[in-house]
Amino acid sequence: MYDRSVPKLTSALLVGLFIASPCGAFAGDTPASRLLLTTTQDIQLFLPRDARLLRDPVEIEKFLEELDDAPPDWTEVHGNYEHPDDEGLFVLNRERDRLRAGRPALSQRITFIWEGLLSSYLPDQSSFLVAVGPEMTATKWGVVRFKPESLPAELLAMPAPKVRKFLQTKLDRGENVRLVVAMTGRVVPNEALIYDFAHEDRGQGMIMPMVRVEQIDYFLTIP
In which element (H, E) is residue 128 found? strand 127-134
Selection from 152, 162, 166, 155 nearest residue 122 by Cα = 155
Total count of domains within the chain: 1
**Who contacts 112 (Cβ-Cβ below 8 Å, separation ≥6)?**
54, 55, 146, 182, 183, 209, 211
Q: Which residues on adjacent β-strands are paired with residue 132?
A: 15, 116
Domain membership of residue 108 (yes or no) is yes
The confidence score (pLDDT) of residue 154 equals 79
pTM over 0.95: no
First to last CA, the chain: 30
The confidence score (pLDDT) of residue 12 equals 30
Q: Which residues on adjacent β-strands are paired with residue 39?
A: 221
Instruction: Check: CB of residue 156 under 8 Å from CB of residue 31.
Output: yes
The confidence score (pLDDT) of residue 63 equals 98
The confidence score (pLDDT) of residue 79 equals 66
Domain membership of residue 5 (yes or no) is no
Selection from 221, 170, 223 nearest residue 37 by Cα = 221
- Could you list the residue range(s) of the whole structural domain that residue 154 is in? 11-221
Domain membership of residue 156 (yes or no) is yes
Domain membership of residue 4 (yes or no) is no
Domain membership of residue 6 (yes or no) is no
Domain membership of residue 3 (yes or no) is no
In tens digits, the chain (223 residues) has pLDDT values of 333 333 333 333 333 333 334 444 454 543 345 678 888 888 999 999 999 999 999 999 999 999 999 999 888 877 654 555 567 788 899 999 999 999 999 999 999 999 999 999 999 988 888 899 999 999 999 999 999 998 877 778 888 888 999 999 999 999 999 999 889 999 999 999 999 988 766 567 999 999 999 988 889 988 6
The confidence score (pLDDT) of residue 85 equals 59
The values of phi and psi at residue 73, to 5°, are -85, 100
The confidence score (pLDDT) of residue 52 equals 97
Domain membership of residue 25 (yes or no) is yes
The confidence score (pLDDT) of residue 206 equals 94
The confidence score (pLDDT) of residue 28 equals 53
Domain membership of residue 58 (yes or no) is yes
